[in-house]
A and B are shown apart, each in its own frame.
Chain A
Amino acid sequence: MRKLFLWPGLALIVVVGVALTACQKSGGGGDTIKIGLAAVESGSDAQIGSTMLQGSQIAVDEWNNNETPLKTYHIVTETKQDGSQVQVKLDEWNAKGGVLGKQIETISLDDEGKPDKAVNVAQTLVDDGVVGVLGHLNSGCTIPASRVYNQAGIIQITPGSTNPQYTEQGYPYAFRICGRDDQQGAVAGAFLHDQLKLNKIAILHNKTAYGEGLATEVKKTFESKGGTVVVFDGIGQDENDYSANVSKIKGSGAEAFFWGGMYGQGGPLCVKMRQAGVNIPFVSGDGCFDQSFINTVGASAPDVYLSFGRDYHKIPAAQPFLDKYKAKYGHDEGAYSVYGYDAANVLLTAIAQAQTTDADKVAAVMKSRAFDTILGQVEFDAKGDTKTSGFVIWTIKDGKLQALPDNP
């Protein structure tokens, strides 16, 4: 009796499966424009990754509802064939909302912060027919994924990956809207040497493309200024016991410490150092720029410095976005929310101006003009990096991260 039911059962499963797949395929027809959002949304970097994607999502929603505030000051200069320049307002192109007369659909995927998973995510997005990707967060994910996007001819803008290698690969469709680690490392290294006036530092990193890359840049800058790096070492991303490293740093006579890594380890590491009586300045980069870092080290932790982009809280244009973000998600923005928002606006503006989703034409537009964003005017160079990067040093004050006052 059992066997009798087995075959029809199997057949049913197969039929339903095929039908469902077919539905999915046909549902992906051409009446929307698809944008991929990819970053780490689980594990220890979940907070900084998902808040970045939420920033992009807000921009896309605004475009879909034709309410992007950028259009009010976002005037596009079009050069006609005879050389005369005409100024066109963005909203005249997109009166119906969306872009190119179509609604924008986002496909958001979690790369778990793992390079191999990121490649899978990239392949899935390509198969889904996205025309552009905003992501990823971790440099270790962004770099391998960029190969997939570029082979498929898809524009990628990373709002938060700072490893220089990403844009050094020579890919025509790879863009970055934040700064690079060689710029960030130079700022952090100069801060340690010139402002804190120290000569001996210890550096620890998390052995990832981001962490080790940034740590190496800091070392380079610090040594070029005549300082010595007494400890330069790496720990695994899943390591939680830092005591031997802390003892070594304690015995090395380092006058400051630099952490090249994310907040998930940086916070506990800072606490462990203080508990062990190592009260030297703790310096790190954008990877620690997250509220949970402050929650771990304490709202009044002294001698903690982070390098990050310019203070967007002081930019009036950022305020409507920050309010909207808080209203929609019920919490404050993350480190890269503004960058995610800007990246989405740049991509959509470029598509709107190119009047096509063809990657070559969109990339040409992106490299040809300046874009108004919350963080000021953004211009891309031939590699796809922004021409200006505004890394400054931040510190913890009154439970919040604030740019040091002597910074611009």
Chain B
Amino acid sequence: MTDPSSSSTLAEIILDGISRGAVYALVALGYTMVYGVLGMINFAHGEIFMIGMFACVYAIGLFSMAWGDHVLINLVLGVLLAMVFSAAYGYANERIAYRRLRKAHVLAPLTSAIGISTFLQYFIFLTVSKEKVQFPRYYSDFLTTHHLTLGSVEITYLRLAILGLTFLIMGGLFYLIHYTRLGIALRATAQDQLMASLVGVPVDKIIAFTFILGSALAAVAGVMVAMYTNVLVFDAGYRVGLKAFTAAILGGIGNVPGAVLGAMILGLTEALTTLQFGSEWNDVSTFAVLMLVLLLRPRGLLGERVADKV
């Protein structure tokens, strides 16, 4: 029906796919980091991301009541507050739901994570908003209405920011893990917590740090995605979280560049499926790609955990 050979449509679709992938990547990085260090899947990560969205929007509302609509100041302060908020939630999750289960069977922390995820969703649902909330467009207008023109394609500033942030975080994490003293401690913890503690690595603090960093980044991702989709809803983290988790597996869970690669492949698959077969087929094609990759490379495209690659 549509003429797929139309090059400008194809270029736009590819850009849509990359932007979509970047959104998944921002969340997938959090999944992969926790898995890389702890070897557990933190299913509640999507909810931390969602809490970041809400914290930022409510903070912006509060600031604009307090001293007026200064876009840049309010937005930056809102993001910072959301980071603090999400980090607190992330730390509390680790402290309450995971720490005591660290030595338990692998299914115990996983179940605990699913429990926390559901708990947080409905906690926000009951206490914050049962309905969809809109991101105040006044604050995102600058980013969504201005764009760069590359040939026949227009890229909004927001998409550039999301893409830039994805690669910035990816690079930052990669550098942190592989080239800093903290990274050595992280990798040591990932390999063997007992041995790491014997040589003086403060394992509890390192793990708490992982959660705090991952959660703060999730808050930034949440704000960007809220601007991009314009909508905040209590189960926003669930759907993106599921896709991000799939992306992390696709790229090799625990592997930082792998998460971004997996997310990009996922986003592009969805966009191209929409063009060729219709978005009704998105889930079919996504999971077909996942199965195919896992059959050929059971540990994901770039291989598993950070520690295994040392």
A236 to B239, CA, bound (A): 11
Chain B interface, DSSP helix/strand/loop, else mixed: helix
B270 at the A interface (CB under 8 A): yes
With contact pairs A43-B130, A275-B145 given, residues A243 and B19 touching in the complex (Cβ less than 8 Å) = yes
Minimum distance in angstroms from A223 CB to a CB of chain B: 13
CA distance A239 to B233 in the complex (A): 11
**Complex contacts, A247 vs chain B, CB 8 Å:** 9, 12-13, 16, 271, 275
Closest to B283 in A: A236
- On whether the beta carbons of B271 and A264 are closer than 8 Å, the reply is no
Q: Residues of A contacting B17 with CB < 8 Å? A: 244
Q: Does B284 contact A (CB under 8 A)?
A: no
For residue A271, which residue of chain B has the nearest CB? B230
Per-position binary interface string of chain B over residues 195-225, scored 1 when its CB falls under 8 Å from any chain A CB and 0 otherwise: 0000000000000000000000000000000
Contact (Cβ within 8 A) B229 A207: no
B279, A235: Cβ atoms closer than 8 Å: yes
Contact B233 A233 (CB under 8 A): no
- B301 contacts chain A at the CB level, 8 A cutoff: no
Q: Are A251 and B130 neighbours in the complex by a CB distance under 8 Å?
A: no
B131 with A44: CB separation less than 8 A: yes
A127 in the interface, Cβ–Cβ < 8 Å?
no
**Cα distance A271–B227 in the bound complex, in angstroms:** 13
Measured CB to CB, the nearest residue on chain A to B242 is A238
Provide the bound-state CA to CA distance between A337 and B122, in Å: 28
Say yes or no: is B278 at the interface (Cβ < 8 Å to chain A).
yes
B229 → chain A closest CB, angstroms: 4
Bound form: Cα–Cα A241–B18 in Å: 12
CA separation between A250 and B278, bound complex, in Å?
A: 14
Knowing A44-B132, A244-B17, the reply to whether A268 touches B274 (Cβ < 8 A) is: no
Residue numbers in B under 8 Å from A41 (CB-CB): 130
Bitwise, B133-160 to A at CB < 8 A (1) or not (0) is 0100000000011000000000010000
> Which of B13, B131, B239 makes the CB contact (< 8 A) with A248?
B13
Can you name the residue of chain A whose Cβ is closest to the Cβ of B271? A244
Contacts of A234 on B, CB cut-off 8 Å? 278-280
CA distance A247 to B279 in the complex (A): 12
Q: Which of B1, B231, B239, B270 contacts A252 (CB 8 A)?
A: B1
> In the bound complex, do residue B16 and residue A268 qualify as a contact, i.e. CB atoms below 8 Å apart?
no
The reply on B119 being an interface residue by CB < 8 A is: no
Closest partner residue, chain A, to B230 (CB atom): A268
Question: A42-B125, A247-B13 are known contacts. Are A231 and B2 too (CB-CB below 8 A)?
Answer: yes
- The residues in A between 47 and 64 inclusive whose CB is less than 8 angstroms from any CB of B are 47
* A248 B274 Cβ-Cβ under 8 A: yes
| A322, CB-defined interface residue at 8 Å | no
Asked if A268 and B12 make an inter-chain contact with CB atoms under 8 angstroms apart, the answer reads no
Cβ A42 vs Cβ B131 within 8 A = yes
B8 — which chain A residues lie within 8 A by C-beta?
A: 251
Give the residue of B1, B236, B282 whose beta carbon is less than 8 angstroms from that of A231. B1
Say which size band chain B's interface belongs to: 35 or more
Find out whether the CB atom of B12 lies under 8 angstroms from the CB atom of A250: yes
**A-B Cβ contacts below 8 A, count:** 96
The answer, among A46, A207, A250, A296, for a CB contact under 8 Å with B9, is A250
Does chain B have a CB within 8 A of A240?
yes
Are the C-beta atoms of A233 and B131 separated by less than 8 Å?
A: no
Q: Which residue of A lies closest to B238 (CB)?
A: A238
Say how far A407's CB is from chain B's closest CB, in angstroms: 31
With A247-B9, A251-B9, A296-B134 already in contact, the answer to whether A238 and B235 are too (CB < 8 A) is yes
Shortest CB-to-CB span from A166 to chain B, Å, is 23
What chain A residues lie within 8 Å of B275 (beta carbons)? 244, 247-248
- Per-residue CB proximity of B250-276 to A under 8 Å, as 1/0? 000000000000000000001100110
* Identity of the chain B residue whose Cβ is nearest the Cβ of A44 in the assembled complex: B132
Decide if A245 is an interface residue (CB 8 Å cutoff).
Answer: yes
Determine whether the beta carbon of B274 is less than 8 Å from that of A233.
yes
Q: Does A230 contact B (CB under 8 A)?
A: yes
Mask of A202-242 contacts with B, CB within 8 angstroms, 1/0: 00000100000000000000000000001111111011110
Question: Which of chain A's residues has its CB closest to B159's CB?
Answer: A243
The proximity string for A residues 12-45 relative to B, scoring 1 for CB distances below 8 Å and 0 otherwise, is 0000000000000000000000000000011110
Q: Nearest Cβ in chain A — how far from B135, in angstroms?
A: 10
A251 to B, closest residue via Cβ: B9
The yes or no answer to B127 lying at the interface (CB within 8 A) is: no
CA distance A248 to B13 in the complex (A): 7
Determine the residue in chain A with the shortest Cβ distance to B125: A42
The yes or no answer to B23 lying at the interface (CB within 8 A) is yes
Q: Mark B87-125, 1 if CB is under 8 A from A, else 0.
A: 000000000000000000000000000000000000001
Establish whether residues B279 and A233, one from each chain, have CB atoms under 8 Å apart when the complex forms.
Answer: yes
Complex Cα spacing A232 to B281, Å = 13
Which residues of chain A come closer than 8 Å to B6, judged between CB atoms? 251
Are the CB atoms of A47 and B134 closer together than 8 Å? no
Flag B1-40 by CB within 8 Å of A: 1 or 0 each: 1110010110011001101100100000000000000000
Q: Which residues of B contact A (CB under 8 A)?
A: 1-3, 6, 8-9, 12-13, 16-17, 19-20, 23, 125, 130-132, 134, 144-145, 156, 228-231, 233, 235-236, 238-239, 270-271, 274-275, 278-280, 282-283
Known interface pairs A42-B131, A244-B20, A251-B12; 5 further A-B residue pairs with C-beta atoms within 8 A, sorted by A's residue number: A41-B130, A47-B131, A234-B280, A236-B239, A244-B16
Q: Which 8 A-B pairs have the closest CB atoms?
A: A251-B9, A240-B229, A247-B12, A244-B271, A233-B278, A42-B130, A244-B274, A243-B16
Q: Could you name 13 residue pairs across A and B whose Cβ atoms are closer than 8 Å?
A: A42-B125, A47-B131, A207-B280, A233-B280, A235-B280, A238-B239, A239-B239, A241-B229, A243-B16, A243-B271, A247-B9, A264-B132, A268-B230
